[in-house]
Amino acid sequence: MRPRTWVLVVAAVFAVLQLGNVTGRDTPDSRNYVSYALTLGGAGKREAAAETVDWVCAGEASAAERAQRVDVVRFHAPSPAGRVFADCRAGELRRVERRLRIGGAQTDGHVVPFVGPRLRRIFEVRPGYPVFLLPFVSVFGVTWGVWLASVLVAGAGGVLVFLVLRTLSVPVPLALTGQVLYYVLPVGTTAMRPMAEGLMLALTLTAVWGCALALTGRAGTERAGTAPVEMARTGTARSGTARSGTAPTGTALAGAARTGGARAGAALAGAARAGGAPVGTARTGTTLVGTVLVAGALVALFAVKHSQALFLGACLAAAAAVVALWRRRHGRGPGRAVAAIAAVACGAVAGTLLLARLLRYPSEAESVQDLLTGHYTHPDRAHPGREFLHLEFDFWVEWLRRQLLEPLFPAALAAGAWGARRRPAFGVFLLAAAGTGILTQAGHPDITIGGDRLIVLAWLLPVVGVPLLLEPPAHRSVPVPAQGALRTVGVTR
């Protein structure tokens, strides 16, 4: 089968496996996003509340029934699903109705008042995921619409991993391995949850793909112009070898030069006939496409979760600075691609900060109060900064202790970082994208949030880096002598 067929087969298998859990993936945040999507579609607050609550409570009832079936004492008892659904529905709607009767700030915005106004405001400024959900819940209803949207966004993330690896000239089997890793590691589990994280992962991977395109100057198929260029360099190298004294006579020198020049000319002509326009033009075009992808992903991330747009922009700008300094230290310019990515990333940081201030988004101080007051269920802290730093230190100590019990995540990060070294410049940008997961977790050091949900973006490092680590030597770039000097073919540094 062709590579694209294998990609679709792997994604289809993943989608079929998700039929085992159509409901029950929701979190407390999910009801805010789903009700937001329903009100965007024209539903009133009470109608949106009823549909959202029915979906949430159906998941709880299904989970209770499954748990009872395998209970070693009560597995023979009647199903509790009906009772759990009724109790859940009555309790949720009673709380919503109480807030709707109060009116005022309790009913502002699009999100149904499952929570208080201050917490709800945090979700009001994240319209991206509800807008993405809207067509699915409008056509297929809440249950199947949310499930289908989750399958598509999670499946797209795996496909993007494949595209990133193929752009780096990784063999098809290893690129498919990266796609599978995305699905089976906590990344796929989190992407399937009805929250903004799945869309964040897909958009972050889009930015990573844009970086790969810009840095390599290739769209992922080595046949389009790469081989002719290498042939040309090889021919020129032979000519240079002749000039350096390998051939004993002037005739041999001239013949070698003619042979090398002819091969180079024929190779470049073949590239032009094959649609590979001049190499510089093709590389410039691919750099532009990659830069546009990075910019588009950052703009979309602002609508999904503006803090991720800020973190990713800052990390990509830092990565561009590191690559530029490294190249300058070795006597090279930063390169057009690195400069373009840096400009876009810095623009994203400035734009995010400016728009968030103009639109009066909740500030960093408000986010800290949300954390320290248990989602505003306790009075505001008088000294939030000092208490936050105290909690931050204790959180990472406990987090590291728990990681040592089952060190899969640290081992995966180490393997991914090792693999990223195989593509030095791209590896820096991959580390930057994965680092946004660490920043997100650091910004919300809550040990009670399980499933690696906040730090999930860090899993992109092993998802992309491990296939690079497994790449056989035959497919890695090797130094090729050209015109009397070592020149590396196919490596972006």
**pLDDT tens readout for residues 367-423:** 899 889 988 888 999 899 999 999 999 999 999 999 999 999 999 999 999 999 999
Alpha-carbon torsion angle 417, 421, 425, 430, nearest 10 = -20
Least confident of 19-23, 60-64, 71-75, 356-360: 71-75
Q: What is the mean pLDDT of the chain?
A: 85
Nearest Cα to 256, choosing from 245, 265, 269, 247? 247
pLDDT at residue 105, rounded to an integer: 77
Q: Residue 402 phi/psi, 5° resolution?
A: -70, -35
One-letter amino acid at 409 equals F
Q: How many CA atoms lie less than 13 Å away from 353 in the CB half-sphere? A: 9
DSSP string, 107-126: G-SSS-SSS-HHHHHHHHT-
pLDDT at 173 over 50: yes
How many Cβ atoms are within 10 Å of 474's Cβ, its own excluded?
7
What is the predicted pLDDT for the residue at 275? 42
Give dist(CA 171, CA 462) in Å, integer. 17
Find the radius of gyration of the CA atoms of the chain: 27
Residue 365: pLDDT band (50, 70, 90) is confident
Mean pLDDT to the nearest integer, 24-37: 94
Greater confidence (481 vs 109) lies with 109
Find the angle CA(167)-CA(170)-CA(172) to the nearest 5 degrees.
100
Report whether 208 contacts 168 (CB < 8 A).
Answer: no
Helices (H) and strands (E) in the chain, counts: 19, 2
d(C-alpha 318, C-alpha 346), whole Å: 9
Residues 6+ apart with CB under 8 A from 245: none
* Distance, CA of 271 to CA of 225 (rounded, Å): 5
Residue-wise pLDDT for 233-288, tens only, equals 333 433 344 334 343 344 443 443 344 444 434 443 443 344 444 545 556 778 89
Cα–Cα distances (Å) from 148 to 28, 127, 192, 194, 230, in that order, read: 20, 19, 9, 10, 45
How much of the chain exceeds pLDDT 90, in percent?
A: 68
Residue 447's φ and ψ, nearest 5 degrees, are -70, -15
**CA 312, CA 123: separation in Å to the nearest integer?**
20
Rounded Cα gap, residues 373 and 366, in angstroms: 10
Q: What are phi and psi of 423, to 5 degrees?
A: -125, 85
Name which of 401, 370, 406, 394 is nearest 442 in CA terms: 394
Q: Which of 207, 225, 204 is nearest to 215 (CA)?
A: 207
Q: Per-residue pLDDT for 328 more than 80? A: yes
Buried b (16+ CB within 10 A) or exposed e, 430-465: bbbbbbbbbbbbebbbeeeeeebbbbbbbbbbbbbb
Residue 206 phi, psi (nearest 5): -60, -40
Each residue of 143-155: pLDDT tens digit?
999 999 999 999 9
Token representation of residue 77: 């008892």
Give the pLDDT band (50/70/90) at residue 475: low
| Side chain identity at residue 136, one-letter code | F
Residue 167 tokens, joined: 């752009």
**Tens digit of pLDDT for each residue in 424-470?**
999 999 999 999 999 999 999 988 886 688 999 999 999 999 999 99
- Counting residues of the chain whose pLDDT is more than 70, the rounded percentage is 82
Banded model confidence at residue 477, pLDDT cuts 50, 70, 90:
low
Tokens describing residue 360: 């009066």
CA distance 52 to 72: 33
What is the DSSP secondary structure assignment for residue 244, as one 8-state letter?
A: I
pLDDT at 480 over 80: no
Prediction pTM value: 0.83
The DSSP line for 433-451 is HHHHHHHHHHHS--TT--T
Identify the three-state secondary structure at position 390: helix
